[in-house]
Amino acid sequence: MKIKTGDLIQLGDHILLCGDSTIKSNVDRLLEGNEVQLVLTDPPYGVSYVESKKGFTQSLAKPKEIANDQTQNEDEYKLFSQAWMECVKPYMARKNSVYIFNSDRMLFALRSGMENAGFKFAQLLIWAKTHAVVGRMDYLPSHELIAYGWFGTHTFHKSKDKTILVCPKPAKSKWHPTSKPRKLLRRLILNSSKVGDTVYEPFAGGGSCLLSCEETKRKCLAIELDTEYCETIVMLWERMTDKKAKKL
């Protein structure tokens, strides 16, 4: 399926909008008439991540930055975070939960943006990977951070869980360079939502959240800015379900 900016695609119970999740009219178009019980998202981390498209999407070889992942200072990232959260705020269910993946570098800016938008930053979770990322730092990073909170009041369906979530990093994906393990996403989804609940993912990337919702019988309403990643999400969902997506 060829997708262009502004397209709205139905994938079974899920809907994907190709657009910018910091623009209120886009979010309104996607979420109108829905209540969001869970926000589960992996937004840009405010650093420039230039990927080679060769190997991630077919027939593309030119370098390309992940959409909205240009280098930002803390003030810019705070405003960016606040903007997308303000857009979803009117649609949050009375009891809800929010999980936002992020990095050490922009954690404080994310927290400020979250609180400025009226959301509660409740706890910091750590995704502990089994392999470190190779780099120039003295201590090689083998973790990512997850901001956990809610808007108003929250719900939690497990008696207790731990703040350190150990889960192997997926093998390098040919569809997206920073995809999160679906096993980890399913754990968060099951902790904070019920079958049939609505999960909002404003930075859908390679579709890990939407596919995890398919596996756990939740409805995912997702936005992705990059047309190529939107096409990838559709392709992966169609392969998983043996069904066909359609434009609305």
Do the beta carbons of residue 125 and residue 131 sit within 8 Å? no
Phi first, then psi: give them for residue 245, nearest 5 degrees: -80, 160
Q: What pLDDT does residue 58 have?
A: 42
Write out the two tokens for 209. Answer: 């959240």
**Average pLDDT, rounded, for the chain:** 89
Q: Is the pLDDT of residue 158 over 60?
A: yes
Give the residue carrying structure tokens 């999160």.
180
- Name all domains of the chain by residue range, CATH numbers in brackets: 32-216 (3.40.50.150)
Q: What is the pLDDT of residue 50?
A: 36
User: In the prediction, which pLDDT does 57 show?
Assistant: 39
pLDDT at 54: 37
Tell me how far CA of residue 187 lies from CA of 75, 116, 127, 171, 176, in angstroms.
Answer: 32, 28, 12, 19, 21
- C-alpha triplet 168, 172, 175: angle, nearest 5°: 120
Q: Is the model's pLDDT at 16 over the cut of 50?
A: yes
Bridge pairing between strands 164-166 and 219-224: unpaired
CB count within 10 Å of CB 216 equals 19
Output 45 or 163, whichever has higher pLDDT.
163
What pLDDT, in 10s, does the model give residues 86-142?
999 999 999 999 999 998 989 999 999 999 999 999 999 999 998 877 778 899 888
Predicted confidence (pLDDT) at residue 7 exceeds the cutoff of 50: yes
Tell me the per-residue pLDDT of 220-231, one tens digit each, with 9 for 90 and over: 999 999 999 999
pTM across the whole model: 0.89
| Residue given tokens 């201590």 in the structure block | 139
Give the pLDDT band of residue 46 (cuts 50, 70, 90): low
Written as one string, the DSSP assignment of 21-58 is TTSHHHHHHHHTT--EEEEEE----SS--EEESBTTBT
Dihedral over Cα of 36, 16, 5, 177: its sign: positive
Q: Kindly provide the b/e burial profile for residues 71-110, where b requires at least 16 CB atoms within 10 angstroms of the residue's own CB.
A: ebebeebbebbbbbbbbbeebbbeebbbbbbbeeebbebb
The Cα–Cα gap between 80 and 120 comes to 17
pLDDT (tens digit, 9 = 90+) per residue, 190-220? 999 999 999 999 999 999 999 999 999 999 9
What are the structure tokens assigned to 118, written together? 């009226």
pLDDT at 48: 45
State the residue for tokens 């991540």: 49
> How far apart are alpha carbons 30 and 222 in whole angstroms?
8
* 170, burial (CB in 10 Å: exposed 0-12, middle 13-18, buried 19+): middle
Q: What is the pLDDT of residue 60?
A: 39
Lowest mean pLDDT among 7-21, 29-43, 70-84, 113-127: 70-84
- Of residues 177 and 179, more confidence is placed in 179
Judge whether residue 68 has pLDDT over 80: no
**Planar angle of CA 136, 140, 143, nearest 5 degrees:** 135
Whether residue 59 is predicted with pLDDT greater than 50 in this model: the reply is: no
Three-state secondary structure call for residue 153: strand
